[in-house]
Amino acid sequence: MTTPTAALVSFKERRRAVRSRSIKPWYRNGSLMAGIIIVGLLVLVAVLAPVLAPYDPVAQHLTNALASPNAAHWLGTDKFGRDVLSRLIWGAQVDLRVGFLAVLIPFVVGSVLGAIAGYFGGWLDTVLMRIVDIFFAFPFYVMVIVLVFIFGSGEASIYIAIAAVSWVSYARIVRGEVLIAKKQDYVVAARLGGMSHARILVRHIGPNVLSQAIIYGMSDIVMDIMAIVTLGYLGLGINPPTAEWGSMINDGQEFITTLWQQATIPGLVVVITSLGLSWLGDGLSDLLSPERRK
């Protein structure tokens, strides 16, 4: 069999042209790098907490309570004489872990349900989306606080509460993206290629719709850390005496006029964490958006 006469297109030449005018590489993306550095440092601190923290975060020394920052305790001690810096470092472990895990569950559940609703449509879509609407009707914090109240405070009930409330956002985002993607001709082509619905959904539609959910997930981690901190502040979060930023702010606020750093420093750390995650999400959205590949 001979090759058709149509000129063989030198693809290499074209690829070179595309590369040269392509968007800056990922390491040149300012917000992505800032996000990676901040979040990376925080994760490092959390992982190395046992090494980095100078004191046991829960050991009480009532004789040395409410010390001002000094050489031995850089950020002073709280009302039970616990080292504030050590609690801050151990708090990173708890808050980041809860933040990431509390996003993972709703991310998976919401994306799967949203994808199924969007792809198959019909009554399944109607039922699922009406349930989503019901969940959306309640304010986030009200729902979370009620659920944590029902399940009792502690890490597990925080996961359940946040997952129960925030899966709906992922379901909505992924459903919308699937609705767009399933009308594309490449989905029709995949059907003509004899592929099953499951294969099309996972391999052909999935990679095209998940980037939006991942980007949202980054900002959701921020939301969840704020929620944990808020719950901790309200006394509904992680059980004391575990070191956690929210409860540290709560503990420190009594002494805001004399020992301002006890409430303010954990608060600043929360702000920096949020900023880092937001930048990371922003950078990821640049990186994952399909336009980058066009």
Which of the ranges 192-200, 212-220, 223-231, 278-286 carries the binding residues for other proteins, by CB under 8 A?
Answer: 192-200
Cβ proximity to other proteins: between 190 and 223 the closer is: 190
**Segment interacting with other proteins (CB under 8 A) among 191-199, 226-234, 244-252, 266-274:** 191-199
Q: How far is the CB of 13 from other proteins (least distance, A)?
A: 10
Cβ neighbours for 162, distance < 8 A, ≥ 6 positions apart:
102, 105, 106, 144, 224, 227
Of residues 45 and 209, the one with the C-beta less far from other proteins: 209
- Our finding on whether 186 is near other proteins (CB under 8 A) is yes
66 backbone φψ class: left, alpha, beta (φ>0; ψ -120 to 50): left
- Contact by Cβ (8 Å): 251, 266: no
- Tell which one of 51, 194, 257, 258 touches other proteins (CB under 8 A): 194
If phi > 0 it is left, if psi is from -120 to 50 it is alpha, else beta; for residue 136 that is: alpha
**9 near other proteins, rule: CB under 8 A:** yes
Q: Which residue stretch of 11-19, 47-55, 104-112, 263-271 sits at the interface with other proteins (rule: CB under 8 A)?
A: 11-19
The nearest distance, CB 167 to other proteins, in angstroms, is 25
- Give the binding range for other proteins (CB under 8 A) out of 52-60, 79-87, 193-201, 271-279: 193-201
Is 276 within 8 Å of 35 (Cβ atoms)? yes
Nearest CB to other proteins, comparing residues 161 and 181: 181
Q: Per rule CB under 8 A, is residue 189 in the interface with other proteins?
A: yes
What is the C-alpha to C-alpha distance for residues 276 and 35, in angstroms, rounded to an integer?
A: 4
- What is the phi/psi pair of residue 193, to 5°? -75, 5
Which element (helix H / strand E) includes 19?
helix 11-20
Closest to other proteins by CB, 163 or 190: 190
**How many whole angstroms separate alpha carbon 217 and alpha carbon 208?**
16
11 scored as a contact of other proteins (CB under 8 A): yes
> One symbol per residue from 274 to 293: x for binding other proteins (CB under 8 A), - otherwise; what is it?
----------------x--x
| Residue given tokens 């992922």 in the structure block | 170
Contact (Cβ atoms closer than 8 angstroms) between residue 35 and residue 280: yes
Q: Interface with other proteins includes 6 (CB under 8 A)?
A: yes
72 by DSSP, 3-state: which? coil
| DSSP-assigned beta bridge partners for residue 77 | 83
28, 123, 185, 257: residue in contact with other proteins (rule CB under 8 A)? 185
**Using CA atoms, how far apart are residues 159 and 2, in angstroms rounded to an integer?**
63
Footprint on this chain of other proteins (rule: CB under 8 A): 1-12, 14-15, 18, 184-186, 188-195, 203-204, 207-208, 290, 293-294
